[in-house]
Amino acid sequence: MDVGSKLRLTSILSALVALTVALAACGDDDGEATATGPLTLNGEETVLALDSTTAKVLDKGKVAISPVDPSSVGGEGIGFPIVGGEIDAESLAGTIDHAGGIKFSSGGARVKLTDFVVDTEAGTLTATTPEGPDLLMLDLDLRGLERSDEGGEIVLSGIAATLSDDGATALNKAFDVELFEGGLAMGEVTVTATAI
């Protein structure tokens, strides 16, 4: 084999190695793309499926829960549209921003909570109140978190939500009751998000 043929063979082998490395970096065993680094979220929703026992307690205490537009009630629970945020593609640490919110009502009293921010690293959900300051409303237990990637969507499920101490204090004060306490099971949270 002459020198020219050896050089051409070496170039071809180098190109094949480079292609193999590139394909390995772009996909997993199923051929699906695997992202790394930060993901900027731009859509879909977070759904809270209210705990059935807590729903009965609220009903007995004559406290109603309703969505704040553009949030809505669906078959799985109350859905809160995702409007932004950023999470790490691998660890999922970051924040998820939402529009809409939820309203607690009893008699003539109202507690309106909007613009939820889920912090997946701290395991919290904060909300904006009519008075302005953010309220740490829910504690999120991420130990049972399950992730799947379906049709370009990131789905996070198995997130248990409980009422925070601050949230319980705010609700009890607003309604002049002792119905709420920190750790009260609020339900399960499922996040379905798209990213750019």
Distance, CA of 82 to CA of 61 (rounded, Å)? 31
pLDDT band at 20 (very low <50, low <70, confident <90, very high): very low
Out of 2-16, 35-49, 83-97, 130-144, pick the least confident. 2-16
Range of the domain at 158: 38-195
Residue 180 placed within a domain: yes
Note the helical H segments in 51-164: 52-60
pLDDT digit string, tens, across residues 75-88: 999 999 999 999 99
Residues above pLDDT 90, as percent of the chain: 74
Residue 19: inside a domain, yes or no?
no
Q: Is the pLDDT of residue 57 over 70?
A: yes
The 10s digit of each residue's pLDDT in 141-186 is: 999 999 999 888 999 999 999 999 999 999 999 999 999 999 999 9
* Structure confidence at residue 35 (pLDDT): 64
Q: What is the pLDDT of residue 10?
A: 34
Residue 7 lies in a domain: no
Q: Which residues of 67-103 are buried (b: 16+ CB within 10 A; e: fewer)?
A: bbeebeeeeebbbbebbebebeeeebebbbbbbbbbe
pLDDT at 114 over 70: yes
Looking up tokens 């999922």 gives 92
Domain count along the chain:
1
* Contact yes or no for 171/104 (Cβ under 8 A): yes
Domain for residue 101, yes or no? yes
Residue 63 lies in a domain: yes
Does 134 reside within a domain?
Answer: yes
Structural domain contains residue 187: yes
Tell me the per-residue pLDDT of 2-13, one tens digit each, with 9 for 90 and over: 434 433 333 333
Across 7-21, average pLDDT: 33
Q: Is residue 153 part of a domain?
A: yes
